[in-house]
Structures are given as structure tokens and as C-alpha cells.
Amino acid sequence: MEKELSVLSTKIASLHDDIVDIKAAMKSLSEAITKLALVEARQVQSDAAIERAFKAIEKVEVRLERAAIQAERSKQASDWVYRAVWAAAAALGVYALKTLKFF
């Protein structure tokens, strides 16, 4: 009977050690899952930030395109004004020469 108690005691001690190991493993797994959840949360935040950045870049691209179109229109208008000024100056010069009877 004492031998059976000794065997049972050994088995219980072995089970106790196994339970302690399982608890340690569970604690380690719990910590790993917590860290994984934090990494996942950061990943979601990063994805959202990247999405916002792409939307902002898209808006800037649209504005840049509009500015380029406006700059082209401004250049055309400026060219027309310079041509009109030169034409007026030429007409004034011709008028002055005719008035002074150079023609």
C-alpha cells in the first residue's frame, strides 16, 4: 500500500509539474497574443494613416493639375496682351511717321 501511495505521490508531483509548465506556457501565450493585438492595432492605424496620405496626395495632384491649366491660360493671356501692346505701339509709330510726313 505504501508503494502505491509512493507511486501516486510521484504521479501527482509529475502532474503538478506539468500543470506549472502549462501555466507558464499559457502566460507566455497570453503575453504573445497581447503583443500581437497591439501590433495589429498599430497596423490598422498605419493603414488608415496611409489611406489618408494617399487621399491628400490625390487632392494635391488635382490642385496641381488645375494650377498648371491656369498657368497655361495666364501665359496665353499674357502673350495676347504683349502682342496687343506691340501692335498698338507699331500703330502709334506708323501714325507718328505719317503725321510727321515720313511716308
Tell me the three-class secondary structure of the chain, residue by residue.
Answer: CHHHHHHHHHHHHHHHHHHHHHHHHHHHHHHHHHHHHHHHHHHHHHHHHHHHHHHHHHHHHHHHHHHHHHHHHHHHHHHHHHHHHHHHHHHHHHHHHHHCCCC
50-70 tens-digit pLDDT: 999 999 999 999 999 999 999
Q: Residue 103: which pLDDT band, with cuts at 50, 70 and 90?
A: low
pTM of the model: 0.55
Indicate the domain borders of the chain.
1-75
| Average pLDDT value for residue range 73-88 | 96
- On the CB side of 48, CA atoms within 13 Å amount to 6
What pLDDT, on a 0 to 100 scale, did the predictor assign at position 59? Answer: 97
